[in-house]
Amino acid sequence: MNDATGAADARAQATEADNAAQILDERYRPYSGARHGLAGAMRALDGSSVRFTLGLGRPARHKFLPWLAVVVALVPAIVFVGIATVLDIDLISENILPEYHQYYGFIELALFFFCGIVVPEILVADRRNGMLSLYLSTPLRLWSYLASKAAAVTVTLAVITVGPLLFLLVAYTVEGSGPDGLGDWLTVLVRILGSGIAIAATITAASLAISSLTDRRAFAVIGIILLLLGSQFVTGLLVEVAEMDPRIYAFNLSEMSEALKDRIFGVGPPELGEDDASPGLRISELSTLFVVAVNAAWLVAGSAVVWWRYRRIEAG
Amino acid sequence: MNDAAAAGTVLVSTAALTQRFGSTVALDALDIQMRPGVTGLVGANGAGKTTLLNALLGLRPPTSGSATVLGLDPRSQGAALRAKVGFAPERDVLPDEMRAVDFVRHLAQVRGLPRSEARTRASDSLWLVGLGEERTRTLGTMSTGQRQRVKLAQAVASDPELVLLDEPTSGLDPTQRTEMLTLIGEISNEHSVSVVLSSHLLEEVERVCDHIVALDAGRLVADGPIAELVGDGEGITLELVDIVEPAGTVEAVESSLRSAGIDVQRTGTVLRLGGAGRDELSDRARDAVADAGARIRRLEARQRTLADLFEASAT
């Protein structure tokens, strides 16, 4: 009886083992499963470009700069939340901690750093090593290739523009200094997402436009830094010193994207004395329609330059 | 029924396909057909091979004419077509810092395979091309031969119906070249993947291909099964030893054969004989050599080669 039971158990175990067995090493064989087409191709390129931008799956030297930018953007938020937690007071209302829209000042450095150093590589590398021609032999077309790359940069930049603010929102809420009620909370959330994505998209378009114009990464880096910092200096000089029309700030990408953020957050002009002159004060003279139009123009112009440049590369 | 079958076993066909770049005619009204198996696309550098491959992939619209690949129009159905076709360009396109398996997986995903399937097939493809043990190495540390194999692996990883290989033996030494050609033959024969192999080397195309499409300055020189285009030709080749004593034996043999009504083309000590059956040519050659006191280095049936096709095209 015991023998029979034992044999039955052994057979059951063997059957179970057979059912669980898998052939893992099938070697090359035909594939008849699903194919994801253009959408799958774009997802694959988008995902790999995000990983590439952040240095994931690449040697350590490629991880350092992008993650440094993320840390630079996030550390002040962590410090402020730490202060709020330790001091246990309503710090936002006491103007000790920055409000959400004011945190952009801390992000700006990381954003410039990221755009200047990291973004050029995402387009330049594919042209330099020939991967572009290989990508175009797949279901990807020029527009889908560029859209995937732009989406990857925008998503990565949004980590910097949106991530720290979301962290602040959640932390302030948990600590008890957040917005009052669900409605206000959602309003702040939408403003954080809207401003962060808008800033990321505009700066992405401009950065990619410059990166598309040269195969030399160093030239692209210099071009982007000149665009972001040089334009600040020149337009500031023209408007504040030469007292020219503040609409010249339309050529100042970083100030205009910051102005868009302020309009999204409903922030008015800074409270300064009559003698004070600052970009914030003069830009506040510009209409919201003008600010939105200028940001849209940067986005469209940047995209148009990239498209024009790649059409020339494709034809050549 | 798959698309290739729907097209009646013709994988690729073109009708008056023409590509101009300014005043340069890169493809001159090509009418070609490619069938399952390995097709050699042969021609000198600048003959239009890469231009033709680009046109077949739908990467560049032709100036005029049309093409059909796997039953699809590259111009209007390019994305669907490229999902079914693997491609390995001549240029070294491998990012140095990427691992071989990651590179092949990524391209398989971009060609539409789900992530898990792409991962599995990347490893399988690298095993197929003999790089199973090397699959986790970064591409920058690989030799030229290994990098060519990685390019082949990425081309076949998505299980394409057709693979276009642009100069896949470029930069390889003779041993590596032989291995690569053997591999391409195996992929076609054992896994039913049709291959278009672009090359400027006639010898390697003859070695591995079932069909050939030969181009010269954008013009079609030959198109058809290789067995019909090369192989046994008419006549024989007689090569004599250049001896000093007795003198003038080569000329004597030539003269004797001509007087017997044999067509003779002489290049140094090599005589190409024609104008009669092989047996008669052999007998006449033997007699003429014996009469002249000459010595034979080589006597063989003449082989028609791809080089002959190009020579005939040039004249």
Whether residue B177 is found in the same domain as residue B263 = no
Inter-chain residue contact B117 with A28, CB threshold 8 Å: no
Q: A141 in contact with B at a CB cutoff of 8 Å?
A: yes
All residues of chain B having their beta carbon less than 8 Å from the beta carbon of residue A34 are 114
Q: A316 in contact with B at a CB cutoff of 8 Å?
A: no
Indicate whether A101 pLDDT > 70.
yes
Inter-chain residue contact B79 with A34, CB threshold 8 Å: no
The full 3-state SS of A178-229, as one line of letters, equals CCCHHHHHHHHHHHHHHHHHHHHHHHHHHHHHHHHCCCCHHHHHHHHHHHHH
Q: Which of B195, B226, B257 marks a domain boundary? A: B226
Inter-chain residue contact B111 with A33, CB threshold 8 Å: no
Which among A22, A26, A28, A42 is the top mutation candidate for probing chain B, defined by the most B β-carbons within 10 Å of its own β-carbon? A28
Chains A, B: CB pairs < 8 Å? 102
Inter-chain residue contact B191 with A28, CB threshold 8 Å: yes
Whether residue B157 is found in the same domain as residue B267 = no
pLDDT band at A91 (very low <50, low <70, confident <90, very high): low
Give the residue numbers in B contacting A (CB under 8 Å), as ranges.
Answer: 57, 59, 78-80, 82-83, 85, 87, 89, 91-99, 102, 106-107, 109-115, 117, 120-121, 124-125, 127-128, 154, 156, 158-159, 191-192
Inter-chain residue contact B109 with A59, CB threshold 8 Å: no
Q: What is the CATH number of the domain that holds B21?
A: 3.40.50.300
Q: How far apart are CA A55 and CA B97, in angstroms?
A: 11
All residues of chain A having their beta carbon less than 8 Å from the beta carbon of residue B92 are 130
Q: A133 in contact with B at a CB cutoff of 8 Å?
A: yes
What is the model's pLDDT at position A18? 58
Mean local confidence (pLDDT), B221-225: 88
Q: Which two tokens stand for residue A30?
A: 């035909």
Whether residue B173 is found in the same domain as residue B238 = no
Q: What is the pLDDT of residues A21-79, one digit of tens each?
A: 655 556 788 888 888 888 999 999 999 999 988 888 888 888 888 888 888 888 988 88
- CB of B28 closer than 8 Å to CB of B40: no
Is the peptide bond preceding residue A30 cis, with omega within 30 degrees of 0? no
For residue B128, give the amino acid letter. L
- Tally helices (H) and strands (E) across chain A: 14, 0
DSSP-assigned states of every residue in B52-98: HHHHHHTSS--SEEEEEETTB-TTTSHHHHHTTEEEE-SS----TTS
Name the strands in the sheet holding B211-216, side by side, starting at the edge strand that comes first in the sequence. Answer: B85-88, B162-166, B194-199, B38-42, B211-216, B219-225
Inter-chain residue contact B78 with A141, CB threshold 8 Å: yes
What is the model's pLDDT at position A23? 54
Q: How far is A42 from chain B (nearest CA, A)?
A: 7
Q: Which residues contact B88 (CB under 8 A, 6 or more apart)?
A: B151, B152, B154, B155, B163, B164, B165, B166, B168
Whether residue B48 is found in the same domain as residue B164 = yes
Q: Is B137 exposed, middle or buried (0-12, 13-18, 19+ CB in 10 A)?
A: middle
Whether residue B154 is found in the same domain as residue B58 = yes
Indicate whether A171 pLDDT > 80.
yes
Q: Which of B204, B226, B248 marks a domain boundary? A: B226
Q: What is the pLDDT of residues B100-133, one digit of tens each?
A: 999 999 999 999 999 999 999 999 999 999 998 9
Indicate whether B257 pLDDT > 60.
yes
Q: A7 in contact with B at a CB cutoff of 8 Å?
A: no
Whether residue B39 is found in the same domain as residue B142 = yes
- CB of A298 closer than 8 Å to CB of A253: yes
H-run or E-run covering B165: strand B162-166
Inter-chain residue contact A138 with B110, CB threshold 8 Å: yes
Q: What is the pLDDT of residues A72-83, one digit of tens each?
A: 888 988 888 887
Nearest to B176 by CA among B227, B142, B136: B142
Whether residue B238 is found in the same domain as residue B167 = no
Indicate whether B308 pLDDT > 80.
no
Mean pLDDT for chain B overall: 88
What is the model's pLDDT at position A96? 67
Inter-chain residue contact B114 with A58, CB threshold 8 Å: no
ipTM reported for the complex, 2 dp? 0.77
Whether residue B115 is found in the same domain as residue B218 = yes
All residues of chain A having their beta carbon less than 8 Å from the beta carbon of residue B154 are 134
Q: What is the CATH number of the domain that holds B282?
A: 3.30.70.100
What letter would DSSP give residue B304?
E
Across A108-117, B87-96, B204-213, least confident range = A108-117
- Please count the structural domains in chain B: 2
Angle (CA) A153 A157 A160, round 5°:
160
- CB of B100 closer than 8 Å to CB of B134: yes
Q: Which two tokens stand for residue A313?
A: 């590369």
CA-based Rg of chain B, rounded to a whole angstrom? 24
CA distance readout (Å), B308 to B79, B132, B221, B230: 39, 41, 11, 9
For residue B160, give the amino acid letter. P
Question: B136: nearest CA in chain A?
Answer: A57
Q: Which domain holds residue B212?
A: 3-226
Query: Tokens 């020939």 map to which residue?
Result: A130
Q: What is the pLDDT of residues B260-282, one digit of tens each?
A: 999 998 988 999 898 888 888 89
Q: Which two tokens stand for residue B215?
A: 């181009």
Whether residue B194 is found in the same domain as residue B235 = no
All residues of chain A having their beta carbon less than 8 Å from the beta carbon of residue B192 are 30
Whether residue B147 is found in the same domain as residue B247 = no
Helix/strand/coil for A89: coil
Q: How far is A24 from chain B (nearest CA, A)?
A: 9
Q: Is A290 exposed, middle or buried (0-12, 13-18, 19+ CB in 10 A)?
A: middle
Q: How far apart are CA B24 and CA B299, in angstroms?
A: 45
Exposure b/e, A200-229, CB count within 10 A at least 16 = b: bbbbbbbbbbbbbbbeebeebbbbbbebbe
What is the model's pLDDT at position B5? 42
Q: What is the pLDDT of residues B142-165, one digit of tens each?
A: 999 999 999 999 999 999 999 999
Q: A83 in contact with B at a CB cutoff of 8 Å?
A: no
Whether residue B220 is found in the same domain as residue B159 = yes
Q: How far apart are CA B198 and CA B237, in angstroms?
A: 31
Q: How many CB atoms lie within 10 A of CB B143?
A: 12
Q: How far apart are CA A173 and CA A187, in angstroms?
A: 14
- CB of B56 closer than 8 Å to CB of B74: yes
Q: Which of B187, B209, B226 marks a domain boundary? A: B226
Question: A36: nearest CA in chain B?
Answer: B112
Whether residue B270 is found in the same domain as residue B174 = no
Inter-chain residue contact A44 with B57, CB threshold 8 Å: no
Query: Tokens 């050529």 map to which residue?
Result: A251
Indicate whether B1 pLDDT > 50.
no
Inter-chain residue contact A40 with B114, CB threshold 8 Å: yes
- CB of B112 closer than 8 Å to CB of A35: yes
Q: Choose among A30, A57, A133: nearest Cβ to B89.
A: A133
Q: How far is A279 from chain B (nearest CA, A)?
A: 44
Exposure b/e, B100-117, CB count within 10 A at least 16 = b: bbbbbbbbbbbbbbbeeb
Inter-chain residue contact B159 with A31, CB threshold 8 Å: yes
